[in-house]
Chain A
Amino acid sequence: MEAAQFKSDQYVRFCPGCGDHAICAALQKAMAEIGVETYNTVVISGIGCSSRMPHYLNTYGFNTIHGRGGAIATGVKTAHPELTVWQMSGDGDCLAIGGNHFIHEIRRNVDLNICLFNNRIYGLTKGQYSPTSPKGFVSKSSPFGTVERPFIPAELVMGARGTFFARTLDVDMPNTVDCLKKAQQHKGASVVECLVNCVIFNNGTHNWIADRETRAERSIVLRHGEKMIFGANKDKGLALDYSELMPRLTVVAADDPRVLTHDAHLQDPALHRMLALMGQEKFTDVQNADMQPELPIALGVIRDVEAETYDEAVNRQIADIRSKSMAQTFDQLLGTLEQWEM
């Protein structure tokens, strides 16, 4: 299939320079490569800039209400597991107003592909701080800086016993397409955190790694089965340092025998969490803005483990019980009641 088949007739209204343009194009490309028909693909969103996405995809789409995309997507997928269901959401939609649905769709492991567009700001309501804005962040609703601690989405996903987490950057099309495709291949709730730039209200929020010059030094694209090597000259690797009570990740030379090989399928999320949290401290407090993390920001598929999906389990239980039941029609059901002639 061609990416063009997934383009709707709607004019794309993201601001010029918005990171969502790139994700939109990546989605069309990924959907075409995945090859599920447009009519068997459903895209559900809540409210926010990123939630406009369904309008630009020539699939079945439903742009719903703020925060509720997760619950509505859960309904679609549970009722009809044969459909491929995507959810488009932002850091406000998913982690603030829709936080409850987000953790529960992950906990249940509903087979959804969830794109979490993280620009650390509310764009559509014109610039308020979000649950991923660093502490101290100055915005229209925090003129003196926020006093609250942000979420790190990966930590929340793993805390909710998530089975899939990937991170990608708006300006990195190949990795984005790859993550989206792997999210679709994964059976269960797949969260792809898309780091997107808000050119109007939070321009440059991901510059630390978005900058082409330094990206290779400051980030690592993790690939299952491959050594954790990064740097412009591929000269650095990640290893575990066991010198203290709790092991911690550390940077070693690429040829060091201690360099880890990425295993996204580890059931135990401890290492995945450590990888996902690399360098995140820099973004949790404005006071840390000048921090130069030694560890690279992890991109790519960090966690991808198997577990039973909710939608399958629900449907299987119904099929099992129905196949064993004596009463299958409504009239037969009436027959099971205590009844008498009057």
Chain B
Amino acid sequence: MQKQTVVVRFCGDSGDGMQLTGNMFSSLSAILGNEISTLPDFPAEIRAPQGTLGGVSGFQVCLGNGVYTPGDKADVIVAMNAAALKVCTLGSKFNVAGARYDETESMFTKNAVVIVDTDSFTDKDLEKALYKTDNPFTELGIPETVQIVPVPLTQLTKESLKDSGMDNKAVLKSRNMFALGVVCWLFSRPIDKAIHFLEGKFAKKPALIAPNVKVLTDGYNYGNNTAMNINTITVEKAEDLAHGTYTSIAGNKATAWGLIAAAHKCGKKLFLGSYPITPATDIMHELAARKDMGVMVVQAEDEIAGVCTAIGASFAGDLACTSTSGPGLSLKSEAVGLAVMAELPLVVIDVQRGGPSTGLPTKTEQTDLMQAVYGRNGECPAVVIAASTSANCFQYAYEACKIALENMTPVILMTDTYLANGTGLWKLPKLAELPEIKPQGVPAELKGHYNAALRDENSIRYWAVPGMEGYEHRNIGLERDSKTGAISTNPENHERMVKARQAKVDQVANKIPELKVQGNAASDTLLVGWGSTEGHLHAAANELNCALAHFNYINPLPKNTAEVLRRYKKVVVCELNNGQFATLLRSKVQGVDFKQYNEIMGQPFAVERIVEHVKAL
């Protein structure tokens, strides 16, 4: 069976290693020439009780040619236990009594292949997963069109490792490799490539290589030899990708590396002040490990100290950043205001999660937009930009640093759980080919006359840093006199300064790319989105044969925004919140009747639902 794209979902207990299995299969597919987009989907609990519905962890990947999203529904499911099967079958209704398969809720299509570990369907397993009967497939109402592939994964893994000398617990942990072997067979992956890849993965734990290779190979051969009653699947290779060297990368890692690249490009030291918070913490992990690149990371005592240590480093002349998620951005807002007032470069990364308050820490949402644009006291403009794929987190993190350093302003970079944890293909850049970064400095003639209010013709404050003789000055969070830099409460001066800070952020619009229309530009329907939804909206626009305007620059907006939006009769702003970007656009662009499509379920869009709703409008 040859397909353009296929969606595979691995699901099991939190301890079953589904994220690792999914990541390995995705990377292997990418190495073999597929485009990929992944969606890890795991509970907030580190280890919920084994075998329960709350402990189900999933990993979905779409692979093939022309991949924009991790896919709405899976074509292939690997369910490691009874709880996982139930969650995949019933979707968000998994804990509703008597719920049965229905196509809109289910995580797999009605023609899916579902591989299950029959050894994990004992009476005890069924009880833990709250089944009422001893026939889970009938109870769940899984239609006959779905092809159930029962594999005694646990027994086979035990058999495979019986001479390994490993204890029972370690043996059971290897079940995921047997499953991976079966899936590799199903997708006709050359086993030697898979083995080679696995050896690389376990390079630091050589003792684990042999048993894992054995289980993987046995899983593969099991598929091959038992003449399973299913056809293997061949997926198309990517065709439209630019030729080059690629890797697969998660959004948080790409973000971290974008910051490193910017620091190396402009010769400044990279400083990160941060505090652990899901789903942003991997950025700190990645940077803390990159001391070889000269990166300085302070794990601060709280979110406020995270941003404040960064402001200190910025005052002292470094490229300073702080990484967080929504609740942390709330805590940082006063300090971001200080950076606005003191006109210091600062990169604030907000990996958005479900809110408000603690909300849904491991789920995705776009609900911090207004907080990023307006969530500070006073007239407090900052630049806000958003990444739109896991891989382009690199580009926009780099861009955030460039804008901050060149314009003496805080820049808030928005990503989210979906981008942060998901992976995509990334074409490796070369530092020399990245855009120049020229941090703002201070003219030599100001030596001896410098103060913190002096700015250039673009309203950008000059930047002198400690250690420079003759530029001693006092910076403040209080309003300052526009000429002397001293504390001032003069009414006209305050208004002048408010406007100067606004003008500085506004002029960034002259330095960013114009908005481009994707898809069928001649259509009278325009989808509008921002941030992480680009893949889904691109796919939806293709299906609808309509146009798409997708925003990476939120504040300021691209200069041609109004002109582009006014060209279309039907403008539908689609976002994973209650309409924040639509509200912002309404305040900035007059004469357009903005319609909305919103989802706030902690999950990425489903392309199918966008298409359906836009058609109905």
List residues of A whose CB falls within 8 A of some B CB. 8, 10, 37-42, 44, 47, 54-55, 58-65, 68, 70-80, 82-83, 100-101, 104, 314-315, 317-318, 321-322, 325, 327-331, 333-334, 337-342
Assess A327 versus B292: contact at CB under 8 Å? Given A64-B477, A75-B308.
Answer: yes
B474 touches which of A62, A68, A74, A329 (Cβ 8 Å):
A62
**Contacts of A82 on B, CB cut-off 8 Å?**
467
Which residues 271-315 in B have Cβ within 8 Å of A in the complex?
271, 273, 290-296, 298, 300-302, 304-305, 308-315
At the interface, yes or no: B472 with Cβ under 8 Å from chain A? yes
- In the assembled complex, the Cα of A200 lies from the Cα of B457 at a distance in Å of 45
- In the assembled complex, the Cα of A61 lies from the Cα of B265 at a distance in Å of 29
* Contact status B305-A65, CB under 8 Å: no
**Contacts of A58 on B, CB cut-off 8 Å?**
472
List residues of B whose CB falls within 8 A of some A CB. 27, 30-31, 33, 200, 238, 241, 243-247, 257, 260-261, 264-265, 269, 271, 273, 290-296, 298, 300-302, 304-305, 308-318, 320, 334-335, 337-338, 342, 425, 428-431, 465-478, 486-487
Residue on B nearest A68 in the bound complex, by CB? B308
**Contacts of A63 on B, CB cut-off 8 Å?**
474-478
A339 touches which of B245, B465, B474 (Cβ 8 Å):
B245
* Contact status A341-B313, CB under 8 Å: no
* Contact status B305-A342, CB under 8 Å: no
A40 touches which of B241, B293, B466 (Cβ 8 Å):
B466
Q: How far is the CB of B125 from chain A (nearest CB, A)?
A: 36
* Contact status B473-A61, CB under 8 Å: yes
A74 touches which of B292, B294, B298, B471 (Cβ 8 Å):
B298
- In the assembled complex, the Cα of A46 lies from the Cα of B245 at a distance in Å of 49
**Contacts of B243 on A, CB cut-off 8 Å?**
341-342
* Contact status B308-A339, CB under 8 Å: no
20 contacts between A and B (CB under 8 A): A37-B469, A55-B476, A62-B315, A68-B308, A72-B308, A72-B311, A74-B298, A75-B310, A76-B313, A78-B296, A79-B316, A314-B296, A318-B294, A318-B295, A325-B291, A327-B292, A327-B293, A330-B261, A339-B245, A342-B238
**Contacts of A39 on B, CB cut-off 8 Å?**
466-472
Assess A59 versus B472: contact at CB under 8 Å? Given A71-B308, A337-B428.
Answer: yes
User: Of residues B244, B425, B466, which shows the largest number of chain A Cβ atoms within 10 Å of its Cβ?
Assistant: B466
* Contact status A71-B292, CB under 8 Å: no
- In the assembled complex, the Cα of A342 lies from the Cα of B32 at a distance in Å of 9
- In the assembled complex, the Cα of A38 lies from the Cα of B467 at a distance in Å of 9
* Contact status A100-B298, CB under 8 Å: no
Residue on B nearest A60 in the bound complex, by CB? B466
* Contact status A60-B486, CB under 8 Å: no
* Contact status A79-B474, CB under 8 Å: no
- In the assembled complex, the Cα of A120 lies from the Cα of B589 at a distance in Å of 54
**Contacts of B334 on A, CB cut-off 8 Å?**
65
* Contact status B472-A60, CB under 8 Å: yes
Assess A100 versus B311: contact at CB under 8 Å? Given A42-B316, A80-B317.
Answer: no
* Contact status B305-A101, CB under 8 Å: yes
A76 touches which of B30, B265, B293, B466 (Cβ 8 Å):
B466
Q: How far is the CB of B332 from chain A (nearest CB, A)?
A: 11
Assess A330 versus B313: contact at CB under 8 Å? Given A40-B466, A80-B466, A82-B467.
Answer: no
* Contact status B27-A100, CB under 8 Å: no
**Contacts of A73 on B, CB cut-off 8 Å?**
312
Residue on A nearest B201 in the bound complex, by CB? A338
- In the assembled complex, the Cα of A64 lies from the Cα of B293 at a distance in Å of 30
* Contact status A104-B301, CB under 8 Å: yes
**Contacts of A78 on B, CB cut-off 8 Å?**
296, 298, 309, 312-313
**Contacts of B320 on A, CB cut-off 8 Å?**
75, 79
Q: How far is the CB of A123 from chain B (nearest CB, A)?
A: 16
**Contacts of A38 on B, CB cut-off 8 Å?**
472
A328 touches which of B292, B316, B317, B466 (Cβ 8 Å):
B292
- In the assembled complex, the Cα of A195 lies from the Cα of B403 at a distance in Å of 45
* Contact status B428-A71, CB under 8 Å: no
* Contact status A318-B428, CB under 8 Å: no
**Contacts of B302 on A, CB cut-off 8 Å?**
100
**Contacts of A328 on B, CB cut-off 8 Å?**
292-293
- In the assembled complex, the Cα of A331 lies from the Cα of B264 at a distance in Å of 10
Assess A80 versus B294: contact at CB under 8 Å? Given A65-B338, A71-B309, A330-B264.
Answer: no
* Contact status A76-B301, CB under 8 Å: no
**Contacts of B428 on A, CB cut-off 8 Å?**
334, 337, 339
Assess A322 versus B474: contact at CB under 8 Å? Given A80-B317, A339-B246.
Answer: no
Residue on B nearest A62 in the bound complex, by CB? B475
- In the assembled complex, the Cα of A338 lies from the Cα of B248 at a distance in Å of 8
**Contacts of A342 on B, CB cut-off 8 Å?**
33, 238, 241, 243-246, 425
